[in-house]
Structure 1
Amino acid sequence: MKLINKLLLLGIISIFFACSDDNDDPVVEVSSEFEENLSLDEWEYNDYSQGEYGNPEGWETSNPGTTFLGVVNAYEEMEDVVSGSAAKLETKEIAITGLASATIYTGQFDLNLSDPAKSAQLGVPYTKRPTSMSFNYKYTPGDVYKQYTGAVGTVIEDAVDSCLVYMYLQKREGDQILRVGTAAMQSSETVSDWTSRKLDVTYGEIANPEVGFKLREEETGWAAAETTPTHVIIVFASSSAGDFFRGANGSTLFVDNISIEY
């Protein structure tokens, strides 16, 4: 049970994901598989104990972690879309941890029984310097915001859930992981109709960064603004504080037609 719990925590939301660092040398411009499916139109399906779950090709989702307890919370949406298919991310109550925020992200989940912390790897090789990231989205926060301790949730009065979207460009070299560029948003606003959003990339250090712009736990500092990145992390999450087991059951984020501008 302890092993399952650890793996579930890894799959719920990105802050617990370990970042791999398997290339220390400068590289020429590198593209990644996720760029071939920014539209989120192509999905692949995997079996688990109670059926199957889908991941957009080139992307990973929270599903490999949550399906250990029989829950799928990231779906291919084929009807309520801008075009083709979209991703539907729904926060759900779940056994053991109480809450599972749904995510799609760049990276991979490879089960490692000897070292569970290495099962989820956030980020993929990427050496480009984009100016912005755009996407279409809808968001509805769930009705009741709670802090979960185990499977027990305590209502936090007057609090509203929020979605979180970010693109982090990193320079990984040896034991150092430096933040090169940042584009992010956190929003509690209900967006009922498909809406286009553009997030500009800020390069270099950000003074007094707001939520979504702060360094991740494993990042060791800020890179100079002119630095060429080696990796990119892109995350869409239905509950921004899911890593702290705070959020609202039923919070739902739809995402379609991602675009990266240069």
Structure 2
Amino acid sequence: MNLKSLTLCLLFGCLFASCIKDELPNAEADILTCIVPSEILIRDPIIENDKITIRVKSTDLTNVAPEFTLTPGATIVPASGTARDFTTPQEYVVTSEDGNWRKTYTVTFIYEGLSTQYSFEDMKLEQDKYPVFFERNGDKVIMDWASGNIGYAITGMAASPADYPTAQAAEGVVGKCLKLSTRSTGELGAMMQMPMAAGNLFIGTFDVMSALSDPLKATQFGLPFYYEPTRLTGYYKYEAGKDFSEGGVIVPGKKDICDIYAIFYETDENTKTLDGTNSFTHPNLISIARIKNAKETNVWLRFSLPFVYLPGKSIDKAKLAAGKYNLAIVFASSLEGATFNGAYGSTLMIDEVKLLYNENK
């Protein structure tokens, strides 16, 4: 190993350790599982960096007592099994056995379904660093969108929120809009053979701990949806970057292009979510809506994508009513971005998206 590579490895180790302390789940102060009565759950609790989201059927949330398992030796305040009023989010503080690590988790119960209109007006800065888009019903947040921004934070390439691959722009069709850009991950990314990060936004969760070891599995697509989706509509602009590259090598004559799609699939005991390895191939897929004629445009173009059923597939109305189907909507600035192919500077703008569906009544 030459001096430069050694220096990068040491730098990467220091940065990653720092992120574990400041941003990522710490190995000594984590909530590993969250248990609530199974009869009220729509899906298993989603445990992320510093938050837990629990989607439940309509139920009384004024006296719920979740139980937690922690990393060995860690303690939690309030104690596991304490009854609390979850009509508003509640905080828990986990402290490691040696007392050197402490993390605050926000636990949120949600019994409202997914929103179906998305204007990308609502954005917050997670830990005062990277943008996170969210949807709300009035003053209540009902969904956080997922993206790879938390992984991009590790690279140290973003000097401001606007420098992240997934960001907000002012010039929407109406008000603000979503802006996705394919960006360099710098020397650290090149060393890990992940030279670029495509801007992405999707319904689901991003598993940052898988981002380095198995990046395709880091994007976990889908949340429960109780209706039959029929069409995805909205507006987009797109500008491709100058030079398309594969594995860091420029491919002459090849142009980058964006991706816009949605998937609808059945869940079961073995399939809780789909990810970047199987989102178009898994046997549980029911229908797909995907753009086929995306192109560069500096004016807003409307897209209208019908959900097309896969051969032999249909919806079980009883399973649908029970929340056994998941929906994911996905936007990406580079079609091949999941495998780190694309063009630096490719930019996709998205606004005023609607999900159309049948009521199934």
- 2:167 is aligned to 75
Deviates more, 1:37-46 or 1:99-108: 37-46
Q: Which runs of 5+ in 1 are unaligned?
A: 8-20, 206-222
The residue type equivalent to 1:236 in the other structure is: F
Report the alpha carbon displacement of residue 109 of structure 1 after superposing the two structures with TM.
3.2
Give the conservation status (yes or no) of the 8 Å contact 1:163–1:186.
no
Paired with 2:259 and 2:201, the residues of 1 have a C-alpha distance of: 11
Specify the code of the residue in structure 2 equivalent to 1:55. Answer: V
- Secondary structure of 1:68's counterpart equals helix
Letter in 2 for 1:76: Q
Given candidates 266, 277, 281, the residue that maps to 1:171 is 266
**Residue-by-residue CA offset, 1:131-159 (whole Å, 9 max, x unaligned):** 100011100111100112xxxx2110110
SS in 2 for 1:60: coil
Aligned-partner SS, 1:260:
strand
Q: 1:87 to 1:69 in 2, by over 3 A?
A: same
Q: Larger Cα Rg: Structure 1 or Structure 2?
A: 2
Contact 1:186 1:240 in 2 (8 A): no
- What residue number does 2:122 align with? 42
Give the SS at the match of 2:267: strand
Within the candidate set 183, 191, 196, 1:92 is matched to 183
Moved more, 229-238 or 187-196: 187-196
Provide the residue aligned with 1:22 in structure 2.
44
The alpha carbon displacement at 1:127 in A equals 2.3
- For 1:225, give the aligned amino acid: S
| Alpha-carbon distance in structure 2 between the residues aligned to 1:138 and 1:245 | 22
Distance 1:111 1:244 in 2: 16
Shift, 1:84, TM fit: 2.1
- The letter for the 2-side match of 1:53 is Y
Is the Cα–Cα contact under 8 Å of residues 204 and 226 in structure 1 kept in the other structure? no
CA distance in 2, matches of 1:86, 1:116: 32
When normalised by structure 2's length, the TM-score is 0.54
Decide whether the 8 Å contact of 1:143 with 1:249 is kept in 2: yes
User: Which structure features the higher share of strand residues?
Assistant: 1
- Secondary structure in 2 matching 1:189: coil
Q: Distance in 2 between matches of 1:99 and 1:74?
A: 13
Cα distance between partner residues in 1 of 2:344 and 2:265: 32
Contact 1:104–1:236 (Cα < 8 Å) also in 2: yes
- Secondary structure in 2 matching 1:84: coil
Higher relative contact order (CA 8 A, sep 6+): 1
3-state secondary structure, aligned to 1:243? helix
**Is the 1:161–1:188 contact (alpha carbons within 8 Å) kept by the matching residues of 2?**
no
Cα shift at 1:224? 2.0
Summarize deviations over 1:93-142 as a string: whole Å, max 9, x none.
113211111100001235559x9767653211112112100011100111
The alignment status of 1:159 with 2:254, answered yes or no, reads: yes
State the partner residue of 1:180. 286
Q: Which runs of 5+ in 2 are unaligned?
A: 1-11, 20-42, 46-55, 59-110, 135-143, 159-163, 272-281
> 1:124 — aligned with what?
223
Cα distance in 1 between the residues matched to 2:309 and 2:348: 27
Q: Secondary structure at the match of 2:153?
A: helix
CA distance in 2, matches of 1:136, 1:225: 29
Contact 1:31 1:127 in 2 (8 A): no
**Percent of pairs with identical residues:** 24
Superposition RMSD in Å: 3.0
- Amino acid in structure 2 at the alignment position of 1:144: D
Match 1:66 to one of 119, 128, 152 = 152
- Give the number of equivalent residue pairs: 217
Shift of 1:226: 3.1
